[in-house]
């Protein structure tokens, strides 16, 4: 705010969401009315009583509850928010006469507390910071400095009196990089934020490395008004970097003297990375291995896995023939597989049996004329020279004392030395461990999914007057059991045909999370079957979490369906930190049931009244865990909106099973980073 005229001059994107369409600058009372600011209970406040009015009058506000008509990306509509206001009356120009106002969701206690402590010191921090701040006026001739803080004086040795009114090039000297200065000028001319490290000089002539970040400041009409520069003395860091660069150059010179050894190390590193990225199948592991080695092999690379009976399972090959350059994959691999399962089996199986007896790679040299007598695939035979020798080095792919496969290199002419066989031995050991881990991962993932499914309802009950359907999809990215659950509980004691639906998510992906999930489900079932209210049921979960060790954190959506007074049904909804259930009516309208919010299980805190919603015939309610809507790079609200769109587009004649399948097909990809539960209730 500008205290001189009581106007709001800037609002960040989250604040704009509270009062969209308001053109700044605007009177503070007008902004408050546009945002629909009321007190914590939703009651109107007199203009003279609003916290923003008091801040505009120069009065600090270090915490007061309000609510806004609309929500933002971090707050819901009419959610309680904490107002912090700091008038900066004693700050130097141009900060003096301004005020900073923060509105934070009250449920985020940590941020509220931190902001409350920091707000009283906000303007002092700029003045007393050890980081240098300067402000210049690009609209004045030569873009002179108009303000510097004390840290600038300490770092440069130039007083504010000697600095203000001058362009900051007075810090430059004979060794200042002119190209760096030009980049700063070009960046400022382009209107962007500029970051550069330049050699500057203090008032006493000593040089120092100065990391400069310059940001443009625009007014409400988009006009450039000032540049704000942040300067940091990074001399020690730059000198340390220079020493490290020199050490690196020395190391590189030493490595250059041993180029062949370096090339082998690079091959080993690339193959290791390829192996680390291969967890989808044996064929992917073998392909990643041979394609990483082939460019440096000067020949062919072949990798194969064994069946449990000791036969050849898969073969992957890649390589380079004489004068052809490196080529990988299709033709050679196809020929190698056909050969390994046909005539080559008589050669390959004995070789693999021999290698499985030793963890060391073996090498031998064979005359090309002798090879011509062997039943080789045409793709390889066609690339053999008419004379000379062929060298072969091979090792087993070992893990936990057992050989899982074979890795071999074939070179025409050149042989293999001890360094080559050492590298091949190391690669074989690493590939064996990766193969073993992949197979272990697959077994553990299957066991984890089986355990998870055993903790969920085997047969979902069908309440009178409703259809119910549910689905659980495990994540692909972990092998542990998860903490997602869904449940449908009926009948509810003394509720005349009502029932309870719950969906929740325990933090973590391990057996502990699965065990906690089972305990939370048991607590909820006992509460539901006793006829407890939604608030009491979730309070019971918090009571359980308070005494649990290790700490329990979970989210839960609790939905109680009860007969209504007119023979219909109503839904009583509460959410403990969980994404809101979605209600879809027969006409396709979708509503997020956002009321009845409370903190996640294990956090504790305030309760809000549950949301009561009528359930007309043909309506459906969808409960789900965050795995359905959460994706990397997008916020949860975007995912909720996408799910709402899927529901709105669904055929109104869908059964619960069909609607559940429609949601899964639209929202769940083949690659899932998190477990997902979906529960659909459809009123007939």
Are 314 and 289 spatial neighbours (Cβ–Cβ below 8 Å)? no
Instruction: Please state the rounded mean pLDDT for residues 571-594.
Output: 94
Q: Does 1.10.10.10 match the CATH number of domain 132-237?
A: no
Whether 260-446 shares its CATH topology with 455-683 is answered no
Q: Is the pLDDT of residue 479 over 50?
A: no
Contacts of 2 (CB under 8 A, 6+ apart): 9, 25, 97, 98
Would you state the structure tokens that stand for residue 294, as one six-digit string? 């082939």
* Structural element, H or E, at residue 525: helix 511-529
Map out the domains of the chain as residue ranges.
7-122, 132-237, 260-446, 455-683
Separation between Cα atoms, residue 142 and residue 377, nearest integer Å: 77
Pairing of strands 81-88, 98-105: antiparallel
Residue 640 pLDDT: 94
Q: 330-334, 397-401, 626-630 — which is least confidently predicted?
A: 330-334
Report the percentage of the chain scoring pLDDT > 90: 29
pLDDT of residue 327: 44
What's the pLDDT score for residue 121? 45
d(CA 277, CA 285): 8
Q: pLDDT value at position 181?
A: 93
- Of the listed ranges 110-119, 179-188, 232-241, 634-643, the one predicted with least confidence: 110-119
The CATH H-level superfamily of 455-683 is PPM-type phosphatase domain (3.60.40.10)
pLDDT at 111: 63
Between 127 and 658, the more confident residue is 658
Please provide the size of the chain in residues: 684
Burial level of 66, CB count in 10 A (0-12/13-18/19+)? Answer: buried
CA–CA separation, 119 vs 152, rounded Å? 23
> What is the DSSP annotation of 71-126?
-BTTB-TT--EEEEEEEETTSPTTTTTEEEEEEEETT-HHHHHHHHHHHTTHHHHH
Q: Please give the mean pLDDT across all residues of the chain.
A: 80
Give the predicted TM-score (pTM) of the model: 0.43
Give me the mean pLDDT over the 335-343 stretch: 65
Cα separations in angstroms, 125 against 133, 290, 295 = 11, 58, 57
Predicted pLDDT of residue 322: 45
Is the pLDDT at 116 greater than 60, yes or no? no
Average pLDDT of the residues in 54-81: 88
User: What spatial distance separates the first Cα and last Cα of the chain, rounded to whole Å?
Assistant: 55
pLDDT-derived band of residue 375, with 50, 70 and 90 as boundaries?
Answer: low
According to DSSP, the residues that pair with 472 across neighbouring strands are: 677
DSSP string, 173-242: -TTS-HHHHHHHHHHHHTTS-EEEEEEEE-TTS-EEEEEEEEEEEE-TTS-EEEEEEEEEE-HHHHHHHH
Residues 607-666 have pLDDT tens digits of 788 999 999 999 999 999 998 998 877 888 999 999 999 999 999 999 999 999 999 999
Residue 201's pLDDT band, with cuts at 50, 70 and 90, is: very high
Give CA–CA dist 364/416, Å, rounded: 8
- Mean pLDDT lowest among 321-325, 508-512, 562-566: 321-325
In this structure, what token pair is assigned to residue 378?
């045409």
Mean pLDDT, residues 379-404: 74
On the question of pLDDT at 574 being above 60, the answer is: yes
Q: CATH classification of 260-446 is 3.40.190.10, yes or no?
A: no
pLDDT at 144: 93
pLDDT at res. 311: 64
- Burial of 505-530, coded b for 16+ CB within 10 Å and e otherwise, reads bbebbbeebbebbebbbebbeebbee
Residue 584 clears pLDDT 90, i.e. is over it = yes
């Amino acid at each position: 705010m500008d205290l001189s005229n009581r106007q709001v001059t800037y609002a960040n994107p989250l604040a704009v969401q509270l009062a969209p369409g308001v053109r700044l600058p605007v009177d503070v009372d007008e902004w408050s009315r546009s945002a629909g600011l009321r007190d914590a209970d939703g009651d109107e406040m007199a203009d003279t009583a609003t916290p923003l009015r008091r801040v505009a009058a120069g009065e600090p506000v270090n915490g007061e509850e309000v609510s806004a008509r609309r929500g933002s990306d971090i707050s819901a509509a009419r959610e309680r928010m904490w107002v912090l206001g700091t008038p900066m009356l004693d700050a130097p120009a141009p900060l003096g006469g301004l005020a900073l106002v923060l509105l934070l969701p009250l449920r985020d206690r940590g941020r509220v507390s931190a902001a409350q402590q920091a707000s009283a010191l906000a303007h002092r921090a700029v003045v007393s910071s050890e980081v240098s701040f300067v402000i210049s006026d690009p609209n004045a001739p030569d873009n002179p400095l108009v303000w510097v803080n004390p840290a600038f004086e300490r770092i440069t040795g130039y007083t504010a009196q000697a600095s203000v009114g001058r362009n900051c090039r007075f810090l430059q000297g004979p060794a200042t990089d002119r190209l760096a200065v030009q980049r700063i000028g070009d960046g400022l001319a382009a209107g962007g934020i500029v970051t550069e490290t330049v050699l500057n000089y203090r008032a006493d002539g000593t040089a120092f490395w100065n990391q400069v970040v310059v940001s443009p400041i625009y007014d409400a009409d988009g006009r450039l008004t000032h540049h704000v520069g942040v300067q940091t003395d990074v001399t020690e860091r730059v000198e340390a970097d220079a020493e490290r660069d020199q050490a690196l150059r020395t190391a590189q010179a030493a490595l250059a003297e041993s180029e062949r050894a370096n090339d082998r190390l690079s091959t080993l590193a690339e193959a290791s990375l390829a192996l680390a990225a291969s967890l989808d199948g044996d064929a992917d592991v073998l392909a990643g291995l041979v394609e990483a080695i082939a460019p440096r092999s000067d020949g062919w690379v072949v990798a194969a896995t064994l069946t449990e009976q000791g036969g050849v399972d898969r073969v992957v090959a890649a390589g380079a023939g004489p004068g052809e350059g490196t080529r990988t994959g299709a033709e050679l691999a196809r020929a190698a597989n056909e050969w390994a399962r046909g005539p080559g089996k008589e050669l390959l199986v004995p070789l693999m049996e021999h290698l499985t007896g030793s963890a060391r790679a073996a090498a031998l040299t064979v005359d090309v004329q002798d090879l011509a007598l062997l039943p080789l695939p045409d793709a390889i035979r066609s690339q053999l020279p008419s004379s000379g020798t062929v060298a072969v080095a091979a090792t087993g792919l070992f893990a936990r004392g057992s050989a899982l496969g074979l890795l071999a290199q074939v070179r025409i002419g050149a042989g293999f030395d001890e360094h080559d066989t050492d590298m091949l031995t190391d690669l074989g050991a690493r590939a064996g461990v990766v193969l073993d881990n992949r197979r272990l991962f697959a077994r553990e993932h299957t066991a984890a999914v089986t355990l998870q499914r055993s903790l969920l309802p085997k047969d979902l009950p069908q309440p009178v007057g409703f259809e119910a359907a549910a689905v659980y999809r495990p994540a692909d990215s972990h092998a542990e059991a998860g903490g997602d659950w869904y449940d449908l509980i009926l009948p509810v004691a003394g509720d005349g045909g009502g029932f309870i639906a719950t969906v929740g998510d325990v933090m973590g992906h391990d057996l502990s999370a699965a065990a906690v999930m089972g305990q939370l489900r048991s607590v909820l079932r006992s509460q539901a079957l006793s006829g407890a209210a939604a608030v009491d049921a979730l309070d019971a979960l918090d009571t359980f979490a308070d005494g649990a060790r290790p700490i329990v954190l979970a989210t839960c959506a609790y939905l109680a369906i009860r007969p209504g007074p007119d023979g219909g049904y109503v839904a009583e909804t509460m959410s403990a930190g969980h994404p809101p259930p979605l209600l879809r009516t027969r006409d396709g309208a979708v509503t997020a049931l956002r009321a009845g919010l409370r903190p996640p299980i294990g956090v504790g805190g305030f309760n809000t009244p549950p949301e009561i919603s009528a359930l007309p015939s043909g309506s459906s309610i969808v409960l789900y865990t965050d795995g359905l809507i959460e994706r990397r790079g997008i916020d949860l609200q975007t995912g909720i909106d996408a799910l709402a769109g899927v529901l709105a587009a669904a055929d109104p004649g869908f059964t619960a099973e069909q609607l559940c399948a429609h949601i899964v097909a639209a929202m769940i990809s083949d690659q899932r980073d998190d477990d997902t539960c979906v529960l659909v209730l459809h009123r007939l």
